[in-house]
Structure 1
Amino acid sequence: MLTRKQHDLLTFINNRLGVEGVSPSFEEMKEALQLKSKSGVHRLINALEERAFIRRLPNRARALEVLRMPDIAPVASAPAPSSVIHADFSRPRVREAANDVIEVPLHGRIAAGLPMEAMESDRSLSVPAALLGPGDHYALEVSGDSMIDAGIFDGDYALVRRCETARDGDIIVALVDNTEATLKYLQHEKGMIRLDPANPAYEPQRYLPSRVRVQGKLAGLLRRYH
């Protein structure tokens, strides 16, 4: 039997996967459940994983898969947070296999380290449609190791959904000074934009908001093995 918080988090993750095809960030989960810190999210994730309700997908950023939904109501009677969207999850969600392949524009390389120029290209990348949710997408080849703790490695292909806004905790393509692009976690800090790496060997990068443009959010990753 799940606690109310465990049930609410599982519902929130399942709903987000159904709508966007990607699991929410830890920051979004913290806000949805009105928790004080991300450590509380980690504990809930671990508890759900131990009970085989979810599993983490290796080598992919923000990759959680819902294995099943509970058959009975959660314990406790506290109301669920308003940001959790409720639906009928009495039966596990089953996704149909998608064998379609989509040609996605491949716009050069992007730094997962120090910012570098993101070059335009006339190449494309064949991507299984099941990896992409709604919206317009493009791909970038990752260069560098500053996002390795998020499961993003040098030589990976980042699949990016075009957008101009993002929430704190999202992994974004940030264009700095209209010339250099980098793949980092987004954070707002005291009137500044902070771009956080996922590797303790690198320092966060701070910029005035006028210097940074969001050009997309990470939607998935492709990795080739040679």
Structure 2
Amino acid sequence: MTTVTLQFFERRPNLPIAESWAPVDHDADSCAEIPLIGNVSAGLPIEACSDTASIHVPSSMIRRNTYALQVRGNSMIDCNIFDGDVIIIERQESAENGETAVVMINDQEVTLKKLYIEKNGVRLQPANTSMPPIYLRNSDIRVLGLVMGVARRAEMAA
């Protein structure tokens, strides 16, 4: 059985997300288990489904309602969130303008995007200039949580 070494990054407050990641020092004794409940699309939204796995993360990254999701896609690369990363999410039902959030669309699909509240609804903005934004009505979305950290395979973090 192969052991995968993860490197953890925590979001520092009051900085743009692309510049806010700080490495988290930890050892096995300072880790706790959180649920890894499935995948989130960083691209086109994917059908919501949940798995029942878990991941050990540094205790300092855990708040009240913390869970993890595996990222699939490249729409958030300019925020330093890559395909294969595991994002650490704090469950929340609202987001500030410009926050990076996990959003459910029409109670079916889940995606990871920057959320912007606009006059005619919401804009889900990828952090990848080659991908277009998604425009929806406020009633079409539900915020599931905000990105607070990233776990990345150590060989990918260099």
Give the TM-score range, shorter chain: 0.7 to 0.9
Higher relative contact order (CA 8 A, sep 6+): 2
Q: Which residue of 2 aligns with 1:69?
A: none
Following TM superposition, by how much is the alpha carbon of 1:130 offset from its aligned partner in structure 2, in angstroms? 2.3
Contact 1:23 1:63 in 2 (8 A): yes
CA distance in 2, matches of 1:206, 1:190: 11
Alignment of 1:164 with 2:121, yes or no, is no
**As a proportion of its length, which structure holds more helix?**
1
Give structure 1 stretches of 5+ with no counterpart.
Answer: 1-19, 27-59, 66-95
Checking the alignment, whether the CA contact within 8 Å between 1:23 and 1:64 is kept in structure 2 is no
TM-superposition CA deviations, 1:97-144 (whole Å, max 9, x none): 785211111111110001002321111111111233x32111000000
Q: Percent identity?
A: 38
Pairing 1:106–2:36 present: yes
Give RMSD over aligned pairs: 2.2
Aligned position for 2:110: 181
How many positions carry a matched residue from both structures? 143
Q: Judging changes above 3 Å, is the alpha-carbon distance between structure 1 residues 138 and 97 closer, same or farther for their aligned structure 2 residues? A: closer
TM-score, normalised via structure 2 length: 0.82
AA of the residue aligned to 1:23:
P
Gaps (5+ residues) in structure 2?
Answer: 1-9
Instruction: Check the 8 A contact 2:11/2:149 in 1, yes or no.
Output: no
Moved >2 Å (runs of 4+): 96-99
Residues of 2 paired with 1:151 and 1:163: CA distance?
22
Cα gap change, 1:115 to 1:22, in 2 (>3 Å): same
Specify which of 75, 78, 88 is matched with residue 149 of structure 1. 78
Instruction: Give TM-score, length-normalised by structure 1.
Output: 0.58
| Structure 1 residues 61 and 125: alpha-carbon distance in aligned structure 2, compared to 1, 3 A threshold | farther
Change (3 A) 1:64 1:221: closer
Classify 1:62/1:164 alpha carbon distance in 2 versus 1 (closer, same or farther; 3 Å): farther
**Structure having the larger proportion of residues in strand:** 2
Q: C-alpha separation between the residues in 2 aligned to 1:145 and 1:216?
A: 19
Query: In 2, distance between residues paired with 1:117 and 1:63?
Result: 29
